[in-house]
């Protein structure tokens, strides 16, 4: 199919793929092993030529996502917002940011995606709102001691109430001219809500219903372990015991998420449940899922959020933080699967997202595990090495049991853009670090679709044709990205895009709803495991290793024609004859 959006129409796809779409949507357990594609709307595709991605652009590109084979799309916040933190500063959950479109566009997008068998997951940011949110504006206007301020963390005093450090670096309290301080675990533009206040709880459950009523199949919960604070506001202990940290992983959070689970369970089609959605929108059948953004080192505390009456899944950041070596990766996989088993929740596998360094850049570094603290300008990388490893990592994660997340552009092997002009950088992490941390803009550069120079077809007109005279993209794209465009990669059967498409299709054919997993004996530098009728082998060492006995090579990240698996490569093998599969590499 074409990438211009006008060569394959929605009608063509519906004609050819209608049974597939219906089958997929009938599956209430879709979330246990879904492939979920993360769209950062500002940077995915622009449907009106203004250089900023929008919902019209996503609608035009839905056939691309259907071809990739994803089950669901998670949209980072698309709501009204000053964009002080890329939309994670929500001013109004019931309005779409005008740069991205309208509520009608969102409803149409959700419905179009469902028609292709693709579910929608929205992002909810319960820890904080924008300074422009009506509650915060009311709190500012009402003044110290007012009831309006009780929805947030306002405190009087000459000094900040605590020395907590912001997740973006720097202080967590900002003083107003009227003398009160307010708490913000992120930027000052993102005041923290007080979750002990009944309005805060009620409003968020209403927001969930607002979007579930519009047919969304899931909700990604931002900063899910931070909502509750110790009202005594103590300092952070040097070594907090479990549940003792004053602003992270507090036990009261579990009650909140049990409440949220009751909300989503009411949409599952169970007896007595609310069935479907508002009149005029398309229902998303099956379970509505909650996925938590939870950064916790303690795996038992982490999986406590995944008990059967709480969240369905949570992002597994441990794997992403590990360096590229078999020992670390094996340990992460083993620990993750063991921690999830007792609560019956599936694991998730995440190579990156809109907050972290792109995998091909990260895996080309000598320190190849991700860490926010280590991000610095000028850290060298070997992109050829990183790309080989990212290809292998794609096959490794796609073979593991659980849900798989793919961040837009990783399927194209896009590198982190590390030479953005300083005056183009927008991320508060960069500003708040005093310019030491390059921030997260480098993984948010607009996607290249077609052509040989910027903006690489990023902007289209209303008919889906490449825009004739588009505005510059909101972040500039590199001049050497022509080989990374979707169009270029569609012509190349060995491209990263081809590898991702093959892996997602084969994963569905061979592993759908198969949660089995068994390690196989291997060298120290090699990972080998069996999943149903598939064996996955990954060589992280620096020399080729013989492939284990097999009947077929189903898919490989590098050439295996001499019977060996090269360094930094992965292969999917069929150990026994399987009439439905054939070799691809
Ligand atoms: C996590 C989000 O992924 C990130 O982009 C955001 O800056 C913080 N939460 C604060 O909302």
- Exposed/middle/buried for residue 434 (C-beta within 10 Å: 0-12, 13-18, 19+): exposed
Q: What is the rounded distance in angstroms from the CA atom of residue 441 to the CA atom of residue 450?
A: 22
**Per-residue confidence band for 428, with pLDDT thresholds at 50, 70 and 90:** very high
In a domain, 286, yes or no: yes
Residue with CA nearest ligand 1 atom 11: 88
Q: How far is the CA of 398 from the centre of ligand 1 (A)?
A: 25
- Do 400 and 347 contact (CB within 8 A), yes or no? yes
Kindly give the distance from the C-alpha atom of residue 195 to the centroid of ligand 1, in angstroms, as a whole number: 18
163 CA distance to ligand 1 centroid (A)?
21
Statement to judge: residues 313 and 398 lie in one domain: yes
Does 48 reside within a domain?
yes
User: Atom 3 (ligand 1): residue with closest C-alpha?
Assistant: 355
Q: Are 222 and 293 in contact (CB under 8 A)?
A: yes
- Domain identity same for 92 and 165: no
Query: What span, in angstroms and rounded, lies between the C-alpha atoms of 96 and 205?
Result: 19
Q: Tell me which of 125, 224, 294, 433 to substitute to probe ligand 1's pocket, judged by most ligand atoms within 8 Å of the beta carbon.
A: 125
Work out how many domains the chain is built from and give that number: 3
Q: What does DSSP say about strands 35-39 and 403-407: parallel, antiparallel, or unpaired?
A: parallel
Q: Is 452 found in the same domain as 551?
A: no
Above 70 in pLDDT, residue 285? no
Q: What is the DSSP string of 509-541?
A: HHHTT----EE----TTEEEEEETTEEEEEE-S
Residue 154 falls within a domain, yes or no?
Answer: yes
**CATH number of the domain to which 335 belongs:** 3.20.20.80
Q: Which of 497, 530, 545 is the C-terminal boundary of a domain?
A: 497
From the CA of 125, give the closest atom in ligand 1: 11
266 pLDDT higher than 50: yes
Does residue 20 lie within any of the structural domains? Answer: yes
Taking residues 420-440, report their average pLDDT. 97
Does 373 share its domain with 295? yes
Which residue lies with its CA nearest to atom 10 of ligand 1? Answer: 88
Whole-number Å distance between alpha carbons of 273 and 264: 10
Last residue of a domain, one of 468, 497, 526: 497
What is the distance in A from the centroid of ligand 1 to the CA of 293? 9
Percent of the chain clearing pLDDT 70 (strictly above): 92
CB 305 within 8 A of CB 253: yes
Cβ contact 199:151 at 8 Å: yes
What spacing in Å lies between the alpha carbon of 564 and ligand 1's midpoint? 42
Does one domain contain both 213 and 154? no
**Ligand 1 nearest-atom number relative to CA 127:** 11
pLDDT in tens, 320-363: 999 999 999 999 999 999 999 999 999 999 999 999 999 999 99
Surface-to-core class of residue 190, CB atoms within 10 Å of its CB (0-12 exposed, 13-18 middle, 19+ buried): buried
At residue 284, the pLDDT reads 59
CA 358 – CA 381 distance, rounded (Å): 11
Instruction: Return the pLDDT at 22.
Output: 72
> pLDDT grade, residue 565 (50/70/90)?
very high
Same domain, 158 and 214: no
For residues 269 and 349, membership in a common domain is answered with: yes
Assess if residue 236 is contained within a domain: no
Answer for the pair 138, 145: CB distance below 8 angstroms, yes or no.
no
Q: Do 526 and 403 share a structural domain? A: no
Tell how far the Cα of 88 is from the centroid of ligand 1, in angstroms: 6
DSSP strand pairing (119-124 vs 173-175): unpaired
pLDDT, greater one: 2 or 323? 323
**Which DSSP string do the residues of 381-408 spell out, in sequence order?**
--HHHHHHHHHHHHHHHHHSSSEEEEET
Same domain, 112 and 139: no
The CA-to-CA distance between both ends of the chain, in Å, stands at 21
| Residues 284 and 163 grouped into a single domain | no
User: What is the 205 CA–ligand 1 centroid distance (Å)?
Assistant: 20
Residue with the smallest CA separation from ligand 1 atom 6 is: 88
Distance CA 286, CA 265 (A): 10
- Say if residue 142 is in the same domain as residue 27: no
Residue 286: pLDDT band (50, 70, 90) is confident
Backbone angles phi, psi at 37, to 5 degrees: -100, 125
What burial class does residue 25 get, using C-beta atoms within 10 Å of its C-beta: 0-12 exposed, 13-18 middle, 19+ buried? buried
Separation of CA 430 and ligand 1 centre (Å): 14
pTM: 0.95
Burial zone of 515 (CB within 10 Å; 0-12 exposed, 13-18 middle, 19+ buried): middle
Nearest 5°: the CA angle 533, 539, 544 is 115
* CA–CA separation, 219 and 407 (whole Å): 16
- Residues 530-544 as b/e (b if ≥16 CB within 10 A, e otherwise) read bbebbbbbbbbbeeb
Last residue of a domain, one of 449, 468, 497: 497
Q: Which atom of ligand 1 is nearest to the CA of 355?
A: 5
Edge-to-edge order in the sheet of strand 35-39: 313-314, 289-292, 218-221, 119-124, 72-75, 35-39, 403-407, 348-350
- Summarised one tens digit per residue, pLDDT across range 193-219 is 999 999 999 999 999 999 999 999 999
Residue 511 located in a structural domain: no
CATH of the domain at 145: 3.90.400.10
User: DSSP 3-state assignment of 150?
Assistant: helix
* Structure confidence at residue 580 (pLDDT): 57
Q: What tokens appear for 415 in the block? A: 């590198």
Say which CATH number the domain at 579 has. 2.60.40.1180
Cα 319 from Cα 330, distance rounded (Å):
9
Asked whether residue 502 is domain-assigned, the answer is no
On whether both 481 and 545 belong to a single domain, the answer is no
Residue 571 lies in a domain: yes
Pocket of ligand 1 (CB under 6 A): 85, 88, 125, 186, 222-223, 293, 354-355
Q: Which atom of ligand 1 is nearest to the CA of 440?
A: 5
* 479 alpha-carbon distance from chain centroid: 27
- Ligand 1 nearest atom to the CA of residue 168, by list position: 7
Q: Residue 118's closest CA among 41, 199, 10?
A: 10
55 SS3 class: helix
Taking residues 487-506, what's their average pLDDT?
A: 98
Q: What is the DSSP letter of 505?
A: H
Model pLDDT, residue 19: 57
* Residue whose CA is at the smallest distance from ligand 1 atom 2: 222
Q: Which residue range forms the structural domain that includes residue 454?
A: 10-126+197-230+252-414+424-497
Q: How far is the CA of 508 from the centre of ligand 1 (A)?
A: 31
- 38, 142, 451, 461, 478 from 474: Cα distances, Å: 19, 37, 18, 17, 13
DSSP codes of every residue in 294-358:
---S-HHHHHHTTSTTS-SEE--HHHHHS-SSHHHHHHHHHHHHHHHGGGTPPPEEES--TTS--
Among residues 359, 439, 350, the alpha carbon closest in space to that of 397 is found at 350
What is the distance between the alpha carbons of residues 166 and 85, in angstroms, rounded to a whole number?
A: 14
Alpha-carbon separation of residue 312 from 219, 324, 360, 482 (angstroms): 10, 28, 30, 40
What pLDDT, in 10s, does the model give residues 57-114? 999 999 999 999 999 999 999 999 999 999 999 999 999 999 999 999 999 999 999 9
């Amino acid at each position: 199919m074409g990438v211009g959006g006008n060569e394959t129409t929605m009608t063509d796809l519906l004609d050819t793929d209608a049974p597939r779409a219906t089958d997929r949507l009938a599956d209430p357990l879709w979330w246990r092993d879904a492939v979920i594609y993360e769209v950062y709307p500002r940077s995915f595709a622009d449907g009106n030529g203004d250089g900023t991605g929008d919902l019209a652009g996503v609608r035009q590109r839905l056939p691309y996502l259907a071809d990739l084979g994803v089950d669901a799309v998670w949209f980072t916040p698309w709501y009204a917002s000053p964009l002080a933190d890329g939309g994670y500063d929500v001013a109004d959950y019931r309005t779409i940011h005008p740069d991205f479109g309208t509520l009608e566009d969102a409803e149409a997008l959700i419905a179009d995606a469902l028609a292709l068998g693709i579910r929608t997951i929205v992002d909810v940011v319960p820890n904080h709102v924008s300074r422009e949110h009506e509650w915060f504006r009311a709190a500012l206007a009402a003044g110290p001691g007012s009831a309006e301020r009780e929805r947030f963390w306002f405190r009087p005093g000459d000094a900040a109430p605590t020395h907590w450090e912001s997740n973006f670096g720097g202080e967590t309290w900002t003083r107003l001219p009227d003398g009160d301080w307010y708490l913000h675990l992120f930027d000052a533009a993102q005041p923290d809500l007080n979750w002990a206040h009944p309005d805060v709880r009620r409003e968020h459950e209403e927001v969930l219903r607002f979007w579930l009523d519009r047919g969304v199949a899931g909700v990604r919960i931002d900063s899910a372990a931070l909502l509750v604070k110790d009202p005594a506001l103590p300092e952070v202990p040097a070594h907090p015991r479990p549940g003792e940290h004053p602003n992270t992983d507090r036990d009261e959070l579990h009650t909140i998420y049990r409440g949220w689970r009751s909300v989503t369970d009411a949409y599952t089609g169970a007896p007595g449940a609310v069935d479907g959605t508002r009149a005029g929108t398309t229902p998303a059948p099956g379970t509505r899922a909650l996925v938590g953004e939870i950064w916790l080192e303690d795996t038992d505390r982490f999986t406590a959020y995944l008990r059967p009456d709480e969240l369905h899944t949570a992002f597994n950041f441990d794997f992403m933080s590990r360096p590229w070596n078999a020992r670390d990766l094996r340990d992460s996989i083993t620990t993750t699967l063991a921690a999830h088993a007792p609560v019956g929740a599936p694991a998730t596998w995440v190579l990156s997202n809109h907050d972290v360094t792109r995998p091909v850049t990260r895996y080309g570094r000598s320190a190849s595990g991700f860490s926010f603290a280590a991000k610095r300008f000028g850290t060298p990388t070997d992109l050829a090495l990183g790309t080989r490893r990212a290809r292998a990592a794609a096959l490794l994660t796609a073979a593991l049991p659980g849900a798989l997340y793919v961040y837009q552009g990783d399927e194209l092997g896009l590198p982190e853009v590390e030479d953005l002009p300083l005056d183009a950088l927008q991320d508060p992490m960069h500003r708040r670090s005093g310019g030491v941390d390059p921030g997260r803009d480098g993984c948010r550069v607009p996607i290249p679709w077609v052509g040989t120079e910027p903006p690489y077809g990023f902007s289209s007109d209303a008919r889906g044709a490449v825009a004739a005279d588009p505005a510059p993209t909101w972040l500039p794209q590199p001049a050497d990205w022509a080989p990374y465009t979707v169009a270029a990669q569609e012509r190349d059967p060995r491209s990263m895009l081809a590898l991702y498409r093959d892996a997602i299709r084969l994963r569905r054919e061979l592993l759908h709803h198969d949660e089995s997993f068994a390690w196989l004996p291997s060298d120290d530098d090699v990972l080998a495991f069996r999943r149903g009728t598939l064996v996955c082998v990954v060589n992280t060492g620096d020399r080729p290793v013989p492939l284990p006995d097999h009947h077929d090579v189903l898919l490989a990240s590098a050439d295996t024609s001499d019977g060996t698996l090269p360094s930094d490569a992965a292969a999917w093998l069929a150990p026994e004859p399987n009439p439905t599969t054939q070799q691809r590499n």
